[in-house]
């Protein structure tokens, strides 16, 4: 990664310029058997479409607060980078009633209704599938995002010193987030090309870092596992082998 990168969106742009074809996020849900692999280019395309949805249809502006009520999931990672691209503050498991807009999974719809701004719901179905019936009062992400543009340009430059993320009582600017992700990548022993397997949840900095930011900062990739506890030791060993895992954070 470039030393001049100062926001998570910068890290993604550098990864895209370096090697767009390499894997970036490989996602497993061990409760459903789902596996999804996204290259840097595919992930960046999802981020661009989501950022266009956020900035355009949802009219989000830099400094707006988005309550992100999502589990560890590849689409959660997309939303984190989309927020960074626009300059929106991602408040992980934040209070919807105090947020400008909310993004929720199917298990937190009732909680998300407290938001008086725009509401987006994700079904979290395999291959990004939509809800069988769109929840009342919400936009279905899987319906809204496909038609968005494949390239994104913010209306205003994102300030690296502005708030970017809050999680578990920790608030970080874009620049602080990048610096901390780099520190974590060193602590985890990551290097360009590393493959980090993690089963940590996305409700703490350690989970977000291992599950996205540290591998991105290192020029590596993540094998993000939801419900990893349902996988036995033999299954974990086989996944480690087949995914060419070099580091773990479980």
Tell me the pLDDT of the chain (250 aa) as tens digits.
677 899 999 999 999 999 999 999 999 999 999 999 999 999 999 999 999 999 999 999 999 999 999 999 999 999 999 999 999 999 999 999 999 999 999 999 999 999 999 999 999 999 899 999 999 999 999 999 999 999 999 999 999 999 999 999 999 999 999 999 999 999 999 999 999 999 999 999 999 999 999 999 999 999 999 999 999 999 999 999 999 999 999 8
Contacts of 36 (CB under 8 A, 6+ apart): 25, 26, 27, 74, 126, 127
Q: Give the model's pLDDT for residue 1.
A: 61
Q: What is the pLDDT of residue 102?
A: 98
Q: What angle do CA 158, 159, 161 make, to 5 degrees?
A: 145
Q: What is the pLDDT of residue 200?
A: 98
Whether residue 73 contacts residue 172, with contact meaning beta carbons closer than 8 Å, is answered with: no
User: pTM of the entire structure?
Assistant: 0.97
């Amino acid at each position: 990664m470039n030393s001049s990168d100062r926001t998570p969106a910068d890290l993604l742009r550098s990864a895209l310029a370096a090697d767009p074809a390499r894997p970036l996020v490989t996602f497993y849900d061990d409760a459903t058997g789902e596996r999804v692999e996204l290259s840097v280019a595919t992930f960046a395309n999802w981020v661009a479409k989501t950022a266009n949805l956020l900035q355009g249809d949802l009219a989000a502006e830099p400094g707006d607060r988005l309550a992100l009520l999502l589990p560890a999931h590849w689409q959660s990672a997309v939303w984190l980078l989309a927020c960074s691209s626009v300059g929106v503050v991602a408040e992980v498991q934040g209070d919807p009633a105090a947020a400008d807009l909310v993004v929720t999974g199917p298990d937190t719809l009732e909680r998300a209704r407290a938001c008086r701004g725009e509401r987006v719901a994700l079904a979290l179905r395999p291959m990004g599938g939509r809800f069988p019936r769109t929840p009342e009062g919400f936009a279905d992400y899987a319906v809204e995002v496909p038609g968005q543009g494949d390239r994104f340009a913010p209306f205003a430059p994102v300030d690296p010193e502005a708030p970017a993320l809050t999680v578990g009582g920790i608030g970080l600017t874009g620049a602080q987030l990048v610096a901390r992700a780099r520190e974590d990548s060193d602590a985890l022993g990551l290097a360009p090309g590393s493959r980090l397997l993690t089963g940590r949840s996305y409700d703490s900095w350690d989970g977000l870092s291992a599950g996205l930011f540290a591998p991105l900062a290192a020029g590596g990739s993540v094998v993000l596992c939801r419900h990893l506890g349902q996988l036995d030791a033999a299954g974990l060993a086989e996944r480690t082998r087949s995914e060419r895992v070099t580091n773990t954070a479980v």
